[in-house]
Amino acid sequence: MGESKASMNGRERFLSFSLGSEEYAVPLLAVREVIAMPEYTPVPYTPPYFLGIMNLRGQVISVMDMRQKLGVKAVKSEETTVIICDLGGVSIGVVVDSVNTVLSPDAGEIAPKPDIQSSRATDFITGVYRKENKLILFLDIAKSLNLEDQSAIQRNQQSGNKSAA
């Protein structure tokens, strides 16, 4: 498989953001855009961290509160933002407390994820980056979604796109 230019030189770029008092990052290639907190429509019978669906220039997108998904206490802030991520043909809006910066660490600066003994799967943590005195966890948003989440996203986008037609 061919590697993207961003990772061939060992400096893949990541968008870092805050959830509560912690900092996380996702690959910049997965980020489509960053928007202010939108109006959204709740969808019944979905997990509590699924806030609902939103209309982004005619496309229906599921909105997920990453703070609730990961059990992080939200910080009430005017900086609350939604990162629109592309996950292999499906877009999802991820609510975060604030977007911080773009990181481009050397590959050698990213430690493997810690071996965590937990009842919850932590496969979605792909690595750890030490920036000054902070640790930043790298996330794979797609892996943080379980099968129930993925089917809810698919249903929301299919039903929303039918009604928008």
pLDDT in tens, the chain (165 residues): 444 444 445 578 999 999 988 899 999 999 999 999 999 999 888 888 899 999 999 999 999 998 888 888 877 778 899 999 988 778 899 999 999 999 999 878 888 877 765 545 577 888 899 888 889 999 988 777 765 566 666 666 666 555 544
How far is the CA of 118 from the CAs of 73, 74, 114, in angstroms?
19, 22, 11
Residue 23's pLDDT is what? Answer: 93
| H-state helical runs in the chain | 5-8, 66-69, 141-144, 147-164
The pTM for the full model equals 0.80
Beta strands 134-139; 50-56: pairing state: unpaired
Nearest C-alpha neighbor of 95 from the set 138, 152, 35: 35
Domain 5-164 has CATH 2.60.120.10: no
